[in-house]
Amino acid sequence: MFLQPFQISRKSLVADIVANDYRTAEVFRKHGIGYCCGGKWPMEIACEMQGVNSEVLQKELEIATRTNQLSNLLDFADCDTDFVIDYIVNVHHRYLKKSLSTTQEMLVDFTNEHVKKFTYLNEVESQFDILVNELNTALQQEEEVIFPYIRHLAHAYKHKEPYAALLIKTLRKPLADTMGNGHETVSGIIMSIRKLTGNYIPPEKVCISHKVVMAKLKELDNDLMQHLNLEQSILIPRAIAIEQELVGT
């Protein structure tokens, strides 16, 4: 379930493919191919039933199961501010913009079908809806307001521009309060979801859909923690330090 190495074959059962790597579930779901209780068909047969090109599907599955790793040798503390912001936007923001909606849809569908047996799912869905709203607002604010300000600030500081101090006085953003409060809210929601789901560990002998949803929630949690850490530990402290130096506080 958690990224087991395997060779994807058109003869493989759909359910077995998803059981080996939960990330394939999104591909099957996109093409309307069931992978849970109805996933006992070979992939090529399932494709025929849905009118899907099996070759195209197999390529999509292979892309979905690729694991991209980031070297531990990359120290973001030594990276240029523009690079850190670009990384957050192009990696973490882009991931959230895609994953939030798909995970939300999966969770809603799963909850509707299984809430009678697992009553805690209603609260998980409610908390996740709040998380989606919080993050969508935060992403927009960061990309349209906070990050442009930090870019201008870092550029003025690096090039010793005479207008640097004036930039802070006219455009200064309450970085610690704005982003700090937002991070606390998001972290609190994540902690609540972790508690409700038992740290995303599905009960024994549950269906594949249950395991997929828990794995997707855990994946999002992991990425979000990396995202918040970059902002809390590197980007925001760096910007605040520049502000304090430029205005002499």
Q: What pLDDT is recorded for position 10?
A: 85
Q: What pLDDT is recorded for position 233?
A: 92
Q: Within a 13 Å sphere around the CA of 19, how many CA atoms are in the beta-carbon half? A: 13
Mean pLDDT across the stretch 118-128? Answer: 96
Q: What is the pLDDT of residues 18-40, one digit of tens each?
A: 988 999 999 999 999 988 866 68
Mean pLDDT across the stretch 136-141? Answer: 94
At 169, the pLDDT band (50, 70, 90 cuts) reads low
At 231, the pLDDT band (50, 70, 90 cuts) reads very high
Nearest to 220 by CA among 132, 99, 137: 99
Mean pLDDT across the stretch 67-76? Answer: 79
Nearest to 175 by CA among 112, 223, 241: 241
Q: What pLDDT is recorded for position 163?
A: 73
Q: What pLDDT is recorded for position 40?
A: 82
Q: What pLDDT is recorded for position 201?
A: 93
CA quadruple 212, 213, 218, 223: dihedral positive or negative? positive
> Is it the case that residue 151 has pLDDT exceeding 70?
yes
Nearest to 220 by CA among 90, 119, 132, 112: 132
- Tell me if 140 sits within 8 A of 219, measured CB to CB: no
Domain limits, the chain: 14-64, 76-247
> Is it the case that residue 1 has pLDDT exceeding 50?
no
Mean pLDDT across the stretch 42-50? Answer: 92
Mean pLDDT across the stretch 185-207? Answer: 94
How far is it, in rounded angstroms, from Cα 23 to Cα 25? 5
> Is it the case that residue 2 has pLDDT exceeding 70?
no
**Percentage of the chain with pLDDT > 70?**
90
Q: What pLDDT is recorded for position 121?
A: 95
Q: What pLDDT is recorded for position 158?
A: 87
pTM, to two decimals: 0.87
Other C-beta atoms closer than 10 Å to the C-beta of 104 total 16
Q: What pLDDT is recorded for position 180?
A: 72
Beta bridge partners of 13: 42
